[in-house]
Structure 1
Amino acid sequence: MYSWSSIRYKLEKEYLALSLRGRIQYFVTRYKFSHDQEGRAAILLDGKEVLRGNYYNKFFKSDLFPRDEKYSHRIRSEYSYMDEVALDLGCFDQRCFYSSFEEFDNQSIDESLKSDNLFVRIFAILDRRIGKRRLLKIREEIENEPEIIQFFYNVRVEAEHL
């Protein structure tokens, strides 16, 4: 397991596309003086949090989860199920961020682009290993993706001047 500083370094310096360096930042914190030491995580674009979540949203917003086949997994899982609903409601915390990074860091970029975990797919879209030709090639696929994936894809495309 990496420390937060080494995870942040890898995401912002080693993996992040050159065109996005300085614009995309990752934020994770743990509140060590709270009774359970839980925390929150966020992705910032130009200094503004565009994706954020914390541990307690999982419980406070649990009634907003759709009652589908993934409901029990979302509620009972130690690490939130990282789908569109969880990201929209901000039902993730620093541990979800760490586990998503670990998955991303230990697989190929192709596997990351197809992952069920939306955090992993966001990391992949912002990754320097996805070049301009590949961005153009996956444009049609992105139209069928969740809004948050489309958002980060558009940020990347705009940064690459495509």
Structure 2
Amino acid sequence: MRRWSKDKQQLEGLMCESLKQRVNFHVTAYRKAHDQMGRAFITVDGKDIFSMCTLTAINKAAEIESRSERVRNVDDVTENVRIYDEALHQANADGYFYQYQFFDALDEYFTNSIDQTLSSEQVLVRMLGMIDRRTGRRRLLNLEPVIDREHEIVKYFYKLRMEAERKTARLPG
């Protein structure tokens, strides 16, 4: 069993000073759910701005899968997995993530250098890199030309960080 309190402490230790009082991470388990899964969510200034709920992501992936022209074949497990993976990839692109994806992102984030974090294939890992104290002023400014190609949640945290750094006079603007 994972120790959320330890992960949260490590996460907060890596967060930049300008956002420490504004950004909070939370994990909730639903004990009456059949799998006791729940959601991980992030609040900014006390407002829930990003949720990673397993049930919501499953429903979104199923909805995407049902709209697909490709049909599951009972005999072809490999193709069925490929169809599901494509639906999950699209659900992630739409901003729907499983709770376990957040924990997987934390595992990668905690073991990576900041260079690896910012170039990760995982959206959630890159998102964490935007609020990481190891992402310095120069690097933030260098990301500006390419940030528009990022996932919405990465862009959100980049803009939040830039705004916070400018208010603390660490960045020009």
Per the alignment, do residues 58 and 85 of structure 1 end up closer, same or farther by CA in structure 2, a change over 3 Å counting?
A: closer
Determine the structure 2 residue equivalent to 1:97. 102
Matched, 1:6 2:6: yes
Deviation at 1:53, TM superposition (A): 2.5
The alpha carbon displacement at 1:58 in A equals 2.8
Q: Deviations over 1:20-39 (max 9, x none)?
A: 01100001111223222111
What secondary structure sits across from 2:149 in the alignment? coil
How far the C-alpha of 1:71 sits from its partner, in A, is 4.5
Going from structure 1 to structure 2, the CA distance change for 1:109 and 1:97 (only over 3 Å counts) comes to same
CA gap 1:104/1:57 in 2 versus in 1, 3 angstroms: same
Distance 1:71 1:126 in 2: 34
Give the counterpart letter for 1:91 in structure 2. Answer: F
Query: Among 94, 101, 106, which residue is 1:88 paired with?
Result: 94
Task: Give, in whole Å, the separation in 1 of the partners of 2:138 and 2:95.
Answer: 33
Larger-gyration structure (1/2): 2
Tell me if 1:149 matches 2:154: yes
Equivalent in 152, 165, 168 of residue 160 of structure 1: 165
Counterpart code for 2:23: I
**Is residue 137 of structure 2 the alignment partner of residue 125 of structure 1?**
no
Work out the percentage of aligned pairs sharing the same amino acid.
33
- The structural deviation recorded for 1:88 is 3.4
Question: Displacement of 1:60 after TM fit?
Answer: 1.9
In structure 1, list runs of 5 or more residues that go unmatched. Answer: none
In 2, the alpha carbon distance for the partners of 1:50 and 1:71 equals 29
Q: Count residues in correspondence.
A: 153
Please state if 1:73 is matched with 2:85: yes
CA-CA distance at 1:152 after TM superposition = 0.8
TM-score (norm 1): 0.83
Q: Deviations over 1:59-95 (max 9, x none)?
A: 3222136859x742256xxxx65xx7426353321x2
In the aligned structure 2, how far is the partner of 1:89 from the partner of 1:133? Answer: 28
Distance 1:129 1:89 in 2: 25
Instruction: Name whichever structure is richer in helix by fraction.
Output: 2
Corresponding residue number in structure 2 for 1:41: 40
Q: Which amino acid aligns with 1:118?
A: V
RMSD over aligned Cα atoms = 2.3
